[in-house]
Structure 1
């Protein structure tokens, strides 16, 4: 049973790390469930502080994943149309079969949204779309860094409880 839970937790952690880059997978929640599976392994004492704090961090990351790109659009002079375009472009970009659609989608969505709002100011629309792209990259970077930290916690727990597994 220990090997099944260890394998499942490792799969969830790796899938979560991939999900921090590819928005089609919920990165931070998968990583958190990986930590939870590890703590449910017989022989490993549950640390409620680690699980609780990591759950709070995960919840904040999930919210920020949507807020940061929209705020990037807003900070670079975008309107609500650009913010909606960013969110719609992110979802569409995931499913469009083009390379790096998840990167291009928020930018194009914000640009189209801003152009729908005011088609006479292309420069302002491009600036807002750039803000969306910068916000998306910032959100991805933050999630990846936190994901690596959670991976470090996972490895620490596995090494600390090495005798349970081997």
Structure 2
């Protein structure tokens, strides 16, 4: 039974990393799977390991939530631009996914963050074209950093949970 549970957890960890690539909650998926495995086979995975994954999940969400908005704000954008970057990220990822799965999701989210920030800066905040473009660039950089950090955290979480299975 331990081998079955361990194999399922390894599969969940790998799927979780894949989900992050698609801008889906892969780290949360790993955390939920690890909690289920800890309930099913407590001798295989400890609750301490589940708690570590929970912390990694929370950190990834905080980074994901604030990165684009912080990029906008860092380059002088308004609150409207920051909110636009968050909405644009979601819309861009949704639009980009069917066009070119995986890469379309990533590129769509990045472009969407920039477009959302630009549109909101220009229309709601009534900034100049130049200021709107600057804020848009900040949103693009912030979103790119967010994706890289979240993927790194997903790989870290997967390596941690797979390692925890064997310790």
- TM-score, normalising length: structure 1: 0.81
- TM superposition shift of 1:65: 1.2
Q: Which residue of 2 aligns with 1:141?
A: 148
In the alignment, is the contact (CA less than 8 A) between 1:81 and 1:116 conserved in 2?
no
- TM superposition shift of 1:130: 1.0
Instruction: Summarize the Cα distance change of 1:12–1:46 in structure 2 as closer, same or farther, 3 Å threshold.
Output: closer
Structure 2: stretches of 5+ with no match in the other structure: none
Counterparts of 1:69-88 in structure 2, within 5 Å, are 69-88=68-87
In 1, Cα distance between equivalents of 2:125 and 2:32: 44
In the alignment, is the contact (CA less than 8 A) between 1:9 and 1:37 conserved in 2?
no
In 2, Cα distance between equivalents of 1:34 and 1:141: 23
In 1, Cα distance between equivalents of 2:157 and 2:56: 10
In 2, Cα distance between equivalents of 1:13 and 1:144: 13
In the alignment, is the contact (CA less than 8 A) between 2:63 and 2:146 conserved in 1?
yes
Q: Which residue of 2 aligns with 1:14?
A: 14
- Cα RMSD (Å) of the superposition? 2.3
Counterparts of 1:15-164 in structure 2, within 5 Å, are 15-23=15-23, 25-42=24-41, 44-96=43-95, 97-98=98-99, 99=104, 100-117=107-124, 121-160=128-167
SS in 2 for 1:5: helix
Instruction: Summarize the Cα distance change of 1:121–1:156 in structure 2 as closer, same or farther, 3 Å threshold.
Output: same
Q: Which has the higher contact order (CA 8 A, sep 6+)?
A: 2
In the alignment, is the contact (CA less than 8 A) between 2:70 and 2:142 conserved in 1?
yes
In 2, Cα distance between equivalents of 1:15 and 1:113: 35
- TM superposition shift of 1:93: 1.0
In the alignment, is the contact (CA less than 8 A) between 2:80 and 2:125 conserved in 1?
no
Q: Deviations over 1:27-79 (max 9, x none)?
A: 22112223334434436254233222321231232132111211111111111
In the alignment, is the contact (CA less than 8 A) between 1:8 and 1:37 conserved in 2?
no
In the alignment, is the contact (CA less than 8 A) between 1:2 and 1:41 conserved in 2?
no
Instruction: Summarize the Cα distance change of 1:45–1:155 in structure 2 as closer, same or farther, 3 Å threshold.
Output: closer
Runs of at least 4 residues of structure 1 off by over 6 A? none
Aligned residues: 159
In the alignment, is the contact (CA less than 8 A) between 2:63 and 2:150 conserved in 1?
no
